[in-house]
Amino acid sequence: MAEYSLLIKELPTSEKPRERLIAHGPSALSDAELLAILLRTGVTGSSVLQLSQALLKEFGGWNGLQSASFEDLSRWKGVAEAKTAQLKAALEIGRRLAILSYGERFQIKSPADVAKLMQVEMGHLDQEHLRAICVDTKNKVQKVHTVYVGSLNASVVRIGEVFKEAIKLNSASVIIVHNHPSGDPTPSPEDVQVTKQIVQAGALLDIQVLDHLVIGHGQYVSMRERCLAFLD
């Protein structure tokens, strides 16, 4: 399918995302406008903004675009390989920037902070990952490490592995995070059972388990907020 050259510069001034970004900053742009800057051109019958809106709707936002395969995106009308490569590169830059927060001693003050730190990286994984965030007495991140990959099951998860790095770092607390590839972050009975065991082990080691977050597609659940496995 041939493209035609509906460039951003040919749009009316009020619809030019690049000019809006220069004038007001990137935070003033909608998701579709940011994506339009990356794609640059539309296709016959659709402007670049319309193409961007359609892509975000079809794939369910940034998380969906992040998890979509290169092949699925490049087959989309008006995208092809070059634009897919640009989009995947931009999304990967965003993911790496989120990870860099660890090195800046990101401070966690709420479950939303944990989600902000982990959502980009974990929201698109196609397997369950259990991770432990080690924090100091001021709740600043010391390290994030992967404890386990696979379905969360009390019979196979080694609880000692959850605290291995926290003991090395003399951490005050840990926060547990795992994802649900289905996209639904509702904790399962197995999630609650494993969390109870982790909380009990932490008490014996004098390492507080602050929370256990379940990450879905653009959503999360704090088990402490839901009073699941946490009594205080």
| 195-220 confidence digits (pLDDT tens) | 999 999 999 999 999 999 999 988 99
Q: How much is the pLDDT for 135?
A: 94
Q: How much is the pLDDT for 105?
A: 64
pLDDT at 3 over 50: no
The verdict on pTM exceeding 0.85 is: no
Alpha carbon distance 48, 30 (integer Å)? 14
Mean pLDDT across 92-102: 70
Strand 141-149: give its sheet, edge to edge. Answer: 141-149, 129-135, 173-179, 208-215, 220-222
Q: How much is the pLDDT for 139?
A: 92
Alpha carbon distance 129, 178 (integer Å)? 5
Break the chain into its structural domains and give their ranges.
8-99, 106-222
Q: How much is the pLDDT for 44?
A: 77
Cα Rg, the chain, nearest whole Å: 21
Q: How much is the pLDDT for 20?
A: 85
Alpha carbon distance 162, 176 (integer Å)? 8
| 111-144 confidence digits (pLDDT tens) | 999 998 888 778 878 889 999 999 999 999 988 8
User: Do 216 and 184 touch, CB atoms closer than 8 A?
Assistant: yes
Alpha carbon distance 63, 91 (integer Å)? 9
Say yes or no: domain 106-222 is CATH 2.60.40.10: no
| 19-77 confidence digits (pLDDT tens) | 888 888 888 889 999 999 998 887 777 788 889 999 999 988 887 888 788 999 998 88
User: Do 214 and 180 touch, CB atoms closer than 8 A?
Assistant: yes
Mean pLDDT across 6-15: 58
Instruction: Say which residue the tokens 């770092």 belong to.
Output: 169
Q: Which CATH number fits domain 8-99: 1.10.860, 1.10.150, 1.10.287, 1.10.3470?
A: 1.10.150
